[in-house]
């Protein structure tokens, strides 16, 4: 039996018809040369449905205590594989617009809690001999990094490599997982406990960071931009409906890296600045740019080699997107400063301490969401998540991986989510939004490109 962590359970508690709490991805492939499409798709479906032993959580459903509250994962003895692995088709020749519309419809529906919390759809009918794989898994079962590792279990850098192994199988997990360290002995645990008790190192570090967070929250002159505080209300800060829009685009990794180098920042700083610039343009076009800066919650992966693969290992920071500044270089610098401040808060913490710190500092947003006040007191304007992916060209049984477009969750108070993956020589952005709150979602892709050009001009690259 694998128990749910408090964070995992939180995603279940926060879920409603309007706010599905699953994460997913749309993977775009090109067929190998000289293969029969029907036969190739049939082989892939057979592989996906092949496990006799399922890895967590794909062969497991939610287990409940005597009060009916989900507390753990338990094996599903009657798993219906055809329910979870499905075959879809677009009318040929399917364009990306139709593919993204289909992915949005698939992503907006809730997963059945009486079954294992995942689905996969193989989609054919795309132009230029392409096909897609859409998958979604409940956030209680996996985080972004875990999802990428799952996808990579079927990928190879060799276009001639072939595998009959399903990514959902226990065999695939055992073959790709990192070797775990032996658990500590009772004597080692006791020695570490005594040392912590004597030094109060864990408590002090978390306490000092919480004090800094609270000081910035209560005292504006502290100027710690990563603290949770009131975020300006925009069209992104509304209560959301259950309908979704999804758009995606790839950007050159070299372009983003050149800006980061020229402005003395990181790849992530540049991504945040791109998103901030895009949001500024979008709001200006709607005549609703606020005087105060928008903010973004930015997840921080805490996954270690010994992590079991199911559940979440993630912390969070809040970045200042500096959307009130017209100068792209000044916006970049303000965003970089806010992220550096956040990193300094977490610098000396262990992953477990960061997780604890994140849970405590995110209590106000969670409480506001639970009370249904996210549209009146938005905890942040958006979520921007940058997840590392494969750095070499990848293939699935000879099919070239052309794009990995992540699809995440939105909530009342933040109706728009940016998630991106590094994929070979490109960064693949997936943007998911409430269909009603962000009606012109497609424009954000153009605004991202314009924001990157602005940064290139400011950096002189």
User: What pLDDT score does 188 carry?
Assistant: 46
Give the pLDDT band (50/70/90) at residue 174. confident
Give the distance from CA 212 to its chain's centroid: 27
Q: What is the pTM of this model?
A: 0.84
**Shared fold status for 2-176 and 200-459:** yes
Please report, for the chain, the start and end positions of each structural domain, with discontinuous segments joined by +: 2-176, 200-459
Region 112-127 average pLDDT: 97
Half-sphere exposure of 277 (CA within 13 A, CB side): 26
Residue 395 and residue 350: Cα distance in Å, rounded? Answer: 36
Region 216-238 average pLDDT: 63
Reported as a single tens digit per residue, the pLDDT across 395-437 is: 999 999 999 999 999 988 889 999 999 999 999 999 999 999 9
Reported as a single tens digit per residue, the pLDDT across 301-344 is: 544 454 445 544 446 788 999 999 999 999 999 999 988 887 77
Which among 389, 384, 380, 461 has a CA at the least distance from the CA of 417? 384
Active site residue 139: yes
Residue 395 and residue 428: Cα distance in Å, rounded? Answer: 16
Q: Please determine, for residue 148, whether its predicted confidence score (pLDDT) is greater than 90.
A: no
Q: Please determine, for residue 270, whether its predicted confidence score (pLDDT) is greater than 90.
A: yes
Active-site choice (84, 138, 139, 307) = 139
Query: Roughly how many angstroms between the first and final C-alpha of the chain, as a whole number?
Result: 54
User: What pLDDT score does 449 carry?
Assistant: 97
Supply the CATH classification number for the domain 200-459: 3.30.559.30
User: What pLDDT score does 153 carry?
Assistant: 87
Region 1-28 average pLDDT: 89
Q: Please determine, for residue 204, whether its predicted confidence score (pLDDT) is greater than 70.
A: no
User: What pLDDT score does 285 carry?
Assistant: 95
Inter-residue contact 22 to 11 (CB < 8 Å)? no
User: What pLDDT score does 6 carry?
Assistant: 78
Q: Please determine, for residue 209, whether its predicted confidence score (pLDDT) is greater than 80.
A: no
- The per-residue pLDDT of the chain, averaged, comes to 84
Q: Sheet of 130-138: strands edge to edge?
A: 85-94, 118-126, 130-138, 22-30, 399-407, 395-396
Reported as a single tens digit per residue, the pLDDT across 286-297 is: 999 999 999 998
Region 226-253 average pLDDT: 86
User: What pLDDT score does 130 carry?
Assistant: 97
**The domain 2-176 belongs to what CATH superfamily?**
Chloramphenicol acetyltransferase-like domain (3.30.559.10)
User: What pLDDT score does 200 carry?
Assistant: 39
Q: How many helices (H) and strands (E) does the chain have?
A: 14, 15
Reported as a single tens digit per residue, the pLDDT across 355-397 is: 666 666 665 665 666 566 666 777 789 999 998 889 899 999 9
Q: Please determine, for residue 458, whether its predicted confidence score (pLDDT) is greater than 60.
A: yes
């Amino acid at each position: 039996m694998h128990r749910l962590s408090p964070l995992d359970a939180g995603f279940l508690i926060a879920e409603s018809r309007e706010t599905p709490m699953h994460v997913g991805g749309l993977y775009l492939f090109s067929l190998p040369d000289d293969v029969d499409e029907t036969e190739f798709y049939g082989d892939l479906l057979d592989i996906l449905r092949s496990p006799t032993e399922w890895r967590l959580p794909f062969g497991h459903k939610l287990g409940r205590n005597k009060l009916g509250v989900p507390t753990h994962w338990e094996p599903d003895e009657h798993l219906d594989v055809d329910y979870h692995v499905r075959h879809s088709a677009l009318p040929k020749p399917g364009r990306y617009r139709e593919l993204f519309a289909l992915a949005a419809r698939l992503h907006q529906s809730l997963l059945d809690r009486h079954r294992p919390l995942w689905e996969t759809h193989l989609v054919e009918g795309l132009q230029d001999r392409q096909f897609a794989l859409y998958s979604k898994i409940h956030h209680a079962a996996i985080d972004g990094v875990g999802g990428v590792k799952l996808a990579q279990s079927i990928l190879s850098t060799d276009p001639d490599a072939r595998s009959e192994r399903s990514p959902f199988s226990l065999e695939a997990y055992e073959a790709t997982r990192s070797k775990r360290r032996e658990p500590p002995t009772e004597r080692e645990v006791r020695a570490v406990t005594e040392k912590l008790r004597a030094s109060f190192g864990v408590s002090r570090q978390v306490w000092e960071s919480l004090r800094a967070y609270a000081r910035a929250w209560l005292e504006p002159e502290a100027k710690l931009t990563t603290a949770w505080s009131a975020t300006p209300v925009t069209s992104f800060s509304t209560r959301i409906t259950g309908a979704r829009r999804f758009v995606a685009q790839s950007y050159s990794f070299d372009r983003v890296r050149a800006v980061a180098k020229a402005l003395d920042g990181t790849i992530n700083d540049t991504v945040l600045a791109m998103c901030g610039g895009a949001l500024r343009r979008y709001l200006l076009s709607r005549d609703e740019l606020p005087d105060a800066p928008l903010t973004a919650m930015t997840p921080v992966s805490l996954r270690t080699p010994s992590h079991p693969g199911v559940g979440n290992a993630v912390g969070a920071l809040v970045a200042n997107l500096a959307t009130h500044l017209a100068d792209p270089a000044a916006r970049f610098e303000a965003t970089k400063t806010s992220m550096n401040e956040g990193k300094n808060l977490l610098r000396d913490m262990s992953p477990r301490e960061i997780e604890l710190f994140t849970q405590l500092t995110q209590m106000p947003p969670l409480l506001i969401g639970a009370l249904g006040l996210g549209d009146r007191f938005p905890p942040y304007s958006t979520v921007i998540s940058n997840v590392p992916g494969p750095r070499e060209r990848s293939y699935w049984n000879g099919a070239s991986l052309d794009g990995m477009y992540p699809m995440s969750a939105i909530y009342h108070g933040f109706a728009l989510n940016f998630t991106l993956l590094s994929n070979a020589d490109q960064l693949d952005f997936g943007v998911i939004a409430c269909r009603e709150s962000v009606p012109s979602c497609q424009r954000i892709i153009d605004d991202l490109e314009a924001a990157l050009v602005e940064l290139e001009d400011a950096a002189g690259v």
